Chain A
């Protein structure tokens, strides 16, 4: 088994199966509806016949001899007492009945028409269009024929009563023909129709008078031509509809006679799918492995839904046969036939409209074949496209700023469970033995070993020492995960590729996964109870791909907007802001403390000597230590000032969100694009640790007092709001007097609403501005808003000034009671207060009514999010499904997997969205490169070669190779 070559599926053919084929592949015929006998053994030729496969461990399959787990199971079959229709094909059956001759079964199309449809079918096949459209058109054409073009037989209409009954509708002579004729012969004086005498009728219709009399007396039924003549003469209709039920056996006979070439015109593959096979005479019985029974705690067996359904089918089948043999009346036979049809129908699909679903004893509808395939949890989406896997773990995440962004902290109990396979060789023999001798309980231990003969041995506390001795080259050891192993880490919803990244393991105590906070943005994770999944990789190819392509540092740039998605967040930003905003000074101890978690172990030259004669280092100089030595940058920063970096030294500007933040921090972005992912990873790690040190140095906290404003300011805010209320009052009065002028394209009411909204939002802003005046730049909330770490001035306005207008559906709150929002207000009160304007700030507290309006606005937000997630999830699924096959080729084109060209050059210029952000063009500055190359400013030949792109960057596949890499790329500090 172990070394057998895996088989590879080449292609899959779809088709119908012939009854004979069902019998051939069947392991046994099933005749009894019972499953187990009194002793609990499966009954022979019953639904649980051991030839259908085994599910109980220890038993042997009577067909293939394998045990449960390795035996896939075998089909059985039921011989149906009478043919029944397959529900899935009812529409096609109807079409075929309507489109073929009732006598000779040929398709009712002339040779020319056939040719035309044959061409259309070929074309549709080629273009991948829906063949059913052509079939439908062909049938529509065929239905127009009254008579068969081949045998001349008159065609009748076919009625289909859903789901599985077909009638032939014929026009036959009504039973009251004599009365009708007599009635018509009476004539109608009012309408001016003359009486017709039998003589006249006989003359007109060319029928003998005696015949006419016989007809009139009802003793002779007129023949068809006679009927038509009479109808014509008297201008009456003598027919009535007669429906003749087509039994499945009739339909089967009808279909059997359809010639192969006729159905091919309809796009049906005659070779693989003869139409008569849509009427079942044999029913395949799925193997027991597909419908396992479960033993309940009390020893009772509970059967699968499919088994229940099969029991029903066999019972009715049996009864049908007995009744037929006993010569039961046709009525009973037909009833049983219908019942059999119902059970076979619901066996295949239990959600047919118009048929009551078959139910379990408890009233729950049974889950039959089609229900097993359908939908999200169905076979296709639930078990084939996505599967449950081994070697996976899930737990709560928590932050750990001491980890590198490439790493993940894995709880030791997870590391001990999720093993990695070690192929023992001469070189790692010692190591392998050490793992095994540690046993399964101690940390870097092993759980299993596999001998070269394929036997798998469990390592236990007892046998670990002896087993370790035995381990030889050629064995396999399933060792525990250790630091440096690569794993895949994921947080749902996996909306983009950065939701699944590879991390290096750091084994840690306790029970949570630990991440560096800078990887929160790509995962969209926070630590309020989020859980994440981890997958341990099981072969070398997967591990290599994960390291090279999926590691966090390889995903720093987002393909969505071509800038970094990983960068400093929240407190890191506040920290950097504090460190660089006023360029504070630090003494030696402080400077060393700031840099102690970075690679920098020696301080640069002091920035200056202070008045006390002590050397000091500025925030700029401390930060500059982290930058690559030859970095030059100039741009407008977060705070609005210029940020200037020359030769790796920050000269001017504040470092905050737009500089080092997530989603396009300029410095991080440049370092990633120019110096590579590894350098960028080092930079992000160091910026975050430096920022943490800085924020701890300065101290940073926020409390309610930080949002409280002086009495005087509060009074001014109240005044502003009062003013706004007055102005709203004026507007309303103007409106009521009819003096308000409407804006172009708006009604008067809309105009009023818009003006009120404008006034109130201005009032809120003014209140905010007044509050702002009283906040110093050192106020932590202001620092956070200015640096872009968290929150905005609007949040501050709402906390200190006024919360402002609450809105539902983009309008002031208008719902509630008739003509008013709450019973606290007069009807038709248009004032600000009555429609959800919140005058208070969050610090001063909301009144009950304000609170209620605020909750209304808040509720809308929640509903919106809930609706949005489902809608956008479906949008995403459709987009992925439509685009998943597209791939860039070596020739630069974008093609799908059947090699259809979709784009000749990706994005019209072949540029990667990862490398170039959407707002710049792909500008390669030839002149700049020329300056560099031609004026040869290179220190060494190697540097030049590197610039020319002739040397490959060293592949740095593990965090542990860091030190070597860092030494190669740059001198650690400026000294």
Chain B
């Protein structure tokens, strides 16, 4: 018998433990009985029964086809979602895919979302001091040459000249030496650096090479993460009345960001479920799917959709330990039954492959049984009634 930390007698414990109540409710029953002090065993029995009756009443009924119900509960509001791809998310000036396209993207388990983004939370002083927060920003946002200074081409001498802006360099914590070095590494040219002026050119004078160099120069990421094109910093209120800085990024590189000093890895998230899966594992990915679908629906005022439906979808997508999409390339395509697959999409190919591999359809699922005209094994189709198991003479009643 389990340990009970409440001052109730053993008979009561026996009675309460005998119910099907979950731990939380059992404890609540004990607490209530303890508070009252004067409750008898009969009282306890009645209370336990009453609570149990209510508890059982709210549980899902066995054999209920919860999958279909969940699918309908997510699919039906789909007709009410907007098609408008871009909508301004409540937060920041960052465009995020919303509505039906986003929902489809999630359910498809696309490798990269249409508009990847991250919400980066900061820790300690980084979250409270603007300077410190900016430090993190420069470590995340990809800095391109045009942000650092002016680039000009001297056609007469066949040279590319960069005059760096001292202020921005200082702000972004990068020195002209470093800039020159990065240019040399990336372009394979000899760069002459003189204070904030950097000059270089093609080995042999060629107008085409010169332009080519300028093009390549523009693509170099001098600081920050290549994938992140923009970071927006926002001051947000905390529950306790304090304030913190939060970064919103356009583009995502979840793994890289978590490594950066000052980033609070425990709260930082990203809207690419595959990145979350790679960096934090399948359970986190499941949580991310629930969170993202829920946010997508909530954004359109459909936050009343029960999370349990979203959980079920997330659970089936992550059931095999990797993210599977819903549809022909994922769950529906990997079903055991040939008929179920053939009835969904690419009918003929599934039948031909089945023949070659000598597959056997055991007719367990729903779609197959509909096809062969048998009752499906869900709900009332999953029970059999046996007649005459109770002798009518004794007046016994099945309960």
Contact = CB atoms under 8 A, between A and B. Distances in A.
Given A871-B104, A875-B103, A884-B68, A949 B52 contact: yes
Given A868-B100, A875-B103, A926-B25, A559 B69 contact: yes
A381 B75 CA distance: 20
B243 interface: no
Interface in A861-916: 864, 867-869, 871-872, 875-876, 878-890, 892, 894, 896-898, 900, 902-903, 906-913, 915-916
A92 B356 contact: yes
A907 B358 contact: no
B83 A910 contact: no
Interface string B33-45: 1011001000100
Given A14-B361, A129-B334, A745 B232 contact: yes
Contacts of A948: 46, 49-50, 53
A511 to B, nearest CB: 30
Interface in A704-758: 743-746
A269 B306 contact: no
A603 interface: no
A906 B305 contact: no
Interface in B294-335: 303-309, 311-313, 315-316, 319, 326-327, 330-335
Contacts of B113: none
Nearest to B88: A810
A602 interface: no
B55 to A, nearest CB: 6
A88 interface: yes
Contact of B316 (A744, A883, A890, A929): A883
Which of A130, A902, A919 has the most chain B CB atoms inside 10 A of its CB? A902
B54 interface: yes
Contact of A810 (B73, B78, B87, B311): B87
A566 to B, nearest CB: 15
A770 B348 CA distance: 65
A744 B234 CA distance: 11
Contact of B54 (A8, A869, A896, A924): A924
Nearest to A909: B22
Interface stretch (A292-300, A372-380, A605-613, A815-823): A372-380
A599 interface: no
B65 A887 contact: yes
A933 B76 contact: no
Contact of B347 (A8, A378, A913, A916): A378
Interface residues of B, number: 115
Nearest to B346: A374
B55 A924 contact: yes
A702 interface: no
Contacts of A273: 355-358
B371 interface: yes
A269 B53 CA distance: 55
A882 B36 contact: no
B112 to A, nearest CB: 20
B232 A744 contact: yes
A933 B43 contact: yes
Nearest to B331: A882
Contact of A380 (B55, B93, B336, B343): B343
Interface residues of A, number: 105
B312 A882 contact: no
Given A560-B305, A907-B308, A746 B93 contact: yes
B365 A885 contact: yes
B337 to A, nearest CB: 9
B82 A864 contact: yes
B62 interface: yes
Interface string A933-975: 1100000000000011110000000000000000000000000
B358 A560 contact: no
A52 B157 CA distance: 90
Interface in B42-88: 43, 46-47, 49-79, 81-84, 86-87
Which of B60, B65, B77 has the most chain A CB atoms inside 10 A of its CB? B60
B344 A881 contact: yes
Contact of B312 (A13, A349, A374, A886): A886
Contacts of B232: 744-745
Contacts, number: 341
A38 interface: no
Given A8-B374, A88-B352, A381 B66 contact: no
Given A559-B73, A882-B71, A906-B66, A872 B81 contact: yes
Interface string A374-394: 110010110011000000000
B216 to A, nearest CB: 26
Contacts of B316: 882-883, 886, 902
Contacts of A906: 60, 66, 308, 312
Given A89-B352, A664-B304, A902 B312 contact: yes
A12 B308 contact: no
Contacts of B100: 868, 871-872, 875
A218 interface: no
A370 B346 CA distance: 11
A128 B336 contact: yes
Interface string A540-559: 00000100010000000001
Contact of A880 (B28, B62, B72, B358): B72
Contacts of A933: 43, 46-47, 50
A302 B368 CA distance: 35
A331 interface: no
Nearest to B372: A9
Contacts of A14: 338, 351, 354-355, 357-361
B151 interface: no
Contacts of B365: 884-885, 896-898
B364 interface: yes
A161 interface: no
Contact of A744 (B66, B82, B93, B356): B93
Nearest to B79: A872
A560 B73 contact: yes
Contacts of A497: 68-69, 72
B61 A912 contact: yes
A9 B363 contact: yes
Interface of A: 8-16, 88-89, 92, 128-132, 267-269, 271-273, 349, 370, 373-375, 378, 380-381, 384-385, 495-497, 545, 549, 559-563, 664, 743-746, 809-810, 864, 867-869, 871-872, 875-876, 878-890, 892, 894, 896-898, 900, 902-903, 906-913, 915-919, 922, 924, 926-927, 929-930, 932-934, 947-950
Interface of B: 22, 25, 28-29, 31-33, 35-36, 39, 43, 46-47, 49-79, 81-84, 86-87, 92-94, 100, 103-104, 107, 230, 232, 303-309, 311-313, 315-316, 319, 326-327, 330-336, 338-340, 342-344, 347-348, 351-367, 370-372, 374, 377-380, 382
6 A-B pairs closest in CB distance:
A949-B53, A269-B358, A886-B67, A907-B308, A876-B75, A883-B67
Given A11-B361, A897-B365, 15 more contacts: A268-B358, A272-B355, A497-B69, A560-B73, A868-B83, A872-B81, A878-B327, A880-B75, A894-B67, A912-B61, A912-B64, A917-B306, A924-B55, A932-B50, A950-B53
